[in-house]
Structure 1
Amino acid sequence: MWTKHHKKRKLGRFVIPAMTVAFLSYFGYHCIHGDYGLRATETFEHQRVAREKELAILKAKREHLENQVALLSDGSLDKDMLDEKARYQLNMSRADEIVIFNHYSN
């Protein structure tokens, strides 16, 4: 008795591998170039490092200002600091003085 066999198509063996390649290509591309991919992570890391540097600068500036405020507080009024700030704000000095302005002193 003869049975009819279906002839295997050559195209049929490539369907599953082609879908697998398409699937892996899609997700592989988005792993690198997507919103949370490797390039975005690298950009976030650069921003984090830059903001840490900015934070360190702002902390140093805040400490400097806190020290100046502490010198001008009621309990420990430093007369030299008071004199320096008054002269700077009023833009006055004596004739026998040399004034050098430092932009970090305000």
Structure 2
Amino acid sequence: MGKRQTSIGRLWPKGGRTEFVALAILLVLAGLAIAGPSGLLAWGDNLRLHDQRQKQLSELTKQRDALRNRVDLLDPKHADPDMVGQLVRSQLNVVHPDEVIMKVDD
């Protein structure tokens, strides 16, 4: 009698293992392309995050420009007198002798 082929031998004909492995790898890659962190399903979320970051960047740019303007106005070499007077009054609570302080009720 001839040798009986095992059930594994019937499932895996010669060379079939490499084809199965290649197919499995291809299916995993296709799954990642669709549902992975940078796949098609995450595309909308990435666009939404990009828009949020752009808004945040524009707000921070405006704040930076405002701070840069204040720094330029307070440069010791050529400070703006109005800005210096405003800061002295607000930070140190000082006034000129000829100024009158008026309280305004809110």
Structure 2 length-normalised TM? 0.56
Structure 1 length-normalised TM? 0.56
Structure 1 residues 39-65: Cα deviation after superposition (integer angstroms, max 9, x where no partner): 212211111111111111111110110
Q: Relative to structure 1, is the Cα distance of residues 68 and 79 closer, same or farther in structure 2, using a 3 angstrom cutoff?
A: same
Tell me the distance in 2 between the aligned counterparts of 1:33 and 1:67: 47
Tell me the distance in 2 between the aligned counterparts of 1:59 and 1:90: 30
Tell me the distance in 2 between the aligned counterparts of 1:75 and 1:91: 24
SS at match of 1:39: coil
Q: Give the root-mean-square deviation of aligned CA atoms.
A: 2.8
Structure 1 unaligned segments of length 5 or more: list them: 1-18, 99-106
What is the match of residue 33 of structure 2?
31
Q: Relative to structure 1, is the Cα distance of residues 72 and 42 closer, same or farther in structure 2, using a 3 angstrom cutoff?
A: same
* Partner of residue 96 from structure 1, selected from 91, 97, 102: 102
Structure 2 unaligned segments of length 5 or more: list them: 1-19
Aligned residues: 78
What is the match of residue 85 of structure 1?
87
Tell me the distance in 2 between the aligned counterparts of 1:47 and 1:34: 17
Amino acid at match of 1:35: P
Q: Relative to structure 1, is the Cα distance of residues 56 and 40 closer, same or farther in structure 2, using a 3 angstrom cutoff?
A: same
Amino acid at match of 1:95: I
What is the match of residue 44 of structure 1?
46
Q: Percent identity, aligned pairs only?
A: 29
SS at match of 1:74: coil
